[in-house]
Chains A and B, each alone.
Chain A
Amino acid sequence: MSDEAQSMTIIAFSGDLDKLWPTMILSSTAAATGMEVTVFYTFWGLFPLVKDDVRITGKDSMTKMLSGMNAPGFQGAKLSKMNMGGMGRRMMRKVAKKGNLMPPEELFAICEDMGVNMWPCQMTMDLLGIKSEQMRPNLGTPVGAATALQKMAKSDISLFI
């Protein structure tokens, strides 16, 4: 291995529960391996960063409806397949607990502790009317596609999840 720290950038596009897991597992493990890690949250991937007690985000009826359909916050995250009105999500969380797999919100907190860069997408925030004060504290400054691409260009590993 070289002396220079390796780096990984993940584009977190999906807000699905089953996709948040690999994002959080890979981010925390990469940070534990000494890599510099950045996660760029965009489109549906932005919703998990909304505080769990914020039920609705948006600036007009359409964006409010979209936020209702996507249930903001980690707790609202659905399964990508067979969610079945929340039953799939509850089952998956139970299975994870039984298998000692930490929930994604706890892995997110570990990632934060380890200094993983959490970058919200400014464009998605504007488009969907999600305000900074509705999102978790301690996130990075919202950035755009060019900043995310610059980071990816310099990263040893770039993923789109």
Chain B
Amino acid sequence: MEFDRAVDAKGQSCPMPVLLTAKAAKEMTSGEVMFLEATDAGARSDIPAWAEQTGNELIESSEEGDVLSFYIRKK
């Protein structure tokens, strides 16, 4: 999947994956897609919760080994 912005939150613990995601989203324009990677297991539920709360669209999420990947479309 194509994306406009990549965010690497690997190796960072709560609350950093959400904070980095929010910071990047703030700098993006509506409709752009973010590719986010994180290794904090809490991000598995935190990123969908953040997306729902903020109205941004979680397009896809996947896991490979310890790495969680998310595609998010900015509202």
Contact = CB atoms under 8 A, between A and B. Distances in A.
A124 interface: no
Given A29-B15, A100-B11, 18 more contacts: A1-B52, A1-B53, A1-B54, A1-B55, A29-B19, A32-B15, A32-B22, A33-B50, A33-B53, A33-B54, A34-B53, A34-B54, A99-B13, A100-B12, A100-B16, A102-B16, A107-B15, A110-B19
A139 interface: no
Interface in B1-32: 11-16, 18-19, 21-23
Interface residues of B, number: 16
Given A1-B52, A1-B53, A1-B55, A32 B21 contact: yes
Contacts of B23: 32
Interface of B: 11-16, 18-19, 21-23, 50, 52-55
Interface residues on A, range: 10 to 19
Nearest to A32: B22
Contacts of A34: 53-54
A100 B13 contact: yes
A149 interface: no
A42 B21 CA distance: 32
Nearest to B46: A29
Interface in A31-83: 32-34
Nearest to B50: A33
A33 B22 contact: yes
Interface string A112-126: 000000000000000
Given A1-B55, A32-B19, A101 B13 contact: yes
Contacts of A29: 15, 18-19
